[in-house]
A and B are shown apart, each in its own frame.
Chain A
Amino acid sequence: GAGVSQSPSNKVTEKGKDVELRCDPISGHTALYWYRQSLGQGLEFLIYFQGNSAPDKSGLPSDRFSAERTGGSVSTLTIQRTQQEDSAVYLCASSLVGQGDSYGYTFGSGTRLTVV
């Protein structure tokens, strides 16, 4: 597609349930990033995929969070046993890497997760 697509756009879940958030990056973009943004806060890096390299998971807040990227394209962020503090907007971005040192990142509109 023309942009980064995320689904669902909104998700309300009960505390303790697992959730999966999906990101479809721009076709051909080799790098994919997940961020989250809590209400009134800045963006917090979660995880970064680049091609076939091992992902940078340094931003995942706990072992309840995991992400995978299948076939170098679609990515799924999974949160197990959700807690109320997981409530946030989860943003995905993709970019071309390797086109010199000059490339832009395109963000999706995010998934607003509410844990009740």
Chain B
Amino acid sequence: DAKTTQPPSMDCAEGRAANLPCNHSTISGNEYVYWYRQIHSQGPQYIIHGLKNNETNEMASLIITEDRKSSTLILPHATLRDTAVYYCIVRAAGGTSYGKLTFGQGTILTVHP
């Protein structure tokens, strides 16, 4: 599986956009980038995923560079409830591990008033 690199922590002011970077320089052509977050004491929550094109849903936007070696998760108007650990994951593309998610250490995002 392609490995991902994220900053260990980030801060963001409430109401501002939070931009969380992820490096996945060894990603394969048919591997997807997934983002999850985990709020304290809860199971991880799906946010968004993409392959090549930028994606947007009600929670966030995902910007993937043209070479696919990095991506950025954007929370357009961060709230205090967005404080969580954010995981950038590249999904296994095939073989017996198809579909398995490999979690890294993630980025601790703290949204402050």
Contacts and interface: CB of A to CB of B under 8 A. Distances in A.
A31 B97 CA distance: 11
Interface string A89-115: 001010101000110111111100000
A58 B98 CA distance: 13
Interface string B95-109: 011111111111000
Given A48-B97, A54-B96, A107 B44 contact: yes
Binding site secondary structure of chain B:
loop
Contact of A33 (B46, B49, B101): B101
B46 A45 contact: no
Contacts, number: 55
Interface residues of A, number: 27
A107 B45 contact: yes
Nearest to B96: A56
B102 A97 contact: no
Interface in A21-46: 31, 33, 35, 42-45
Nearest to B43: A107
26 contacts: A31-B99, A33-B101, A42-B103, A42-B105, A43-B44, A43-B87, A45-B100, A45-B103, A48-B99, A53-B96, A54-B96, A56-B97, A58-B97, A91-B43, A93-B43, A93-B44, A95-B99, A97-B98, A101-B30, A101-B32, A102-B32, A104-B46, A105-B46, A107-B44, A109-B42, A109-B43
Given A31-B99, A101-B51, 4 more contacts: A33-B101, A44-B103, A58-B97, A95-B99
